[in-house]
Amino acid sequence: MIPVLAYIPFLDPINAVHDWWYLLLVPLSFSVSVIYLALRMPSLDHYWRRVLLMTVQIVGAIAALAIVLVVLVQVVIPRLPVD
């Protein structure tokens, strides 16, 4: 008999993350921005606007890197001569 597992937050993993794990980049970069700017900014004026900007910059930079890598692996490398 296989028991039915009830999901318990913080104890069981969220297995649905397997399908959209890359979207976790957004909360990851948001948290890094919150901590970094809290330490870095001399004054906390316009703090959340700067956090939003830095989050967008991190996500944009990593998305651009992903695009470059996809082009490199899918387009450039297959066209290289074998010898």
Q: Which is nearer to other proteins, 21 or 83 (CB)?
A: 21
CA gap 34, 47 in Å, rounded: 9
CB of 75 to other proteins, least distance (A): 26
Residues 35, 51 contacting (CB under 8 angstroms): no
49 binds other proteins (CB under 8 A): no
DSSP structure string for the chain: -PPPPPP-TTTS--GGGGGSGGGGHHHHHHHHHHHHHHHH-SS-TTHHHHHHHHHHHHHHHHHHHHHHHHHIIIIIHHHS---
Residue 1 as a binder of other proteins (CB under 8 A): the answer is yes
User: Quick one: which segment of 11-19, 52-60, 61-69, 71-79 binds other proteins (CB under 8 A)?
Assistant: 11-19
Q: Which of 11, 75, 80, 82 binds other proteins (CB under 8 A)?
A: 11
Binding site for other proteins (CB under 8 A): 1-3, 5, 9-15, 17-18, 21, 24, 27-28, 31-32, 34-36, 38-39, 42-45, 47
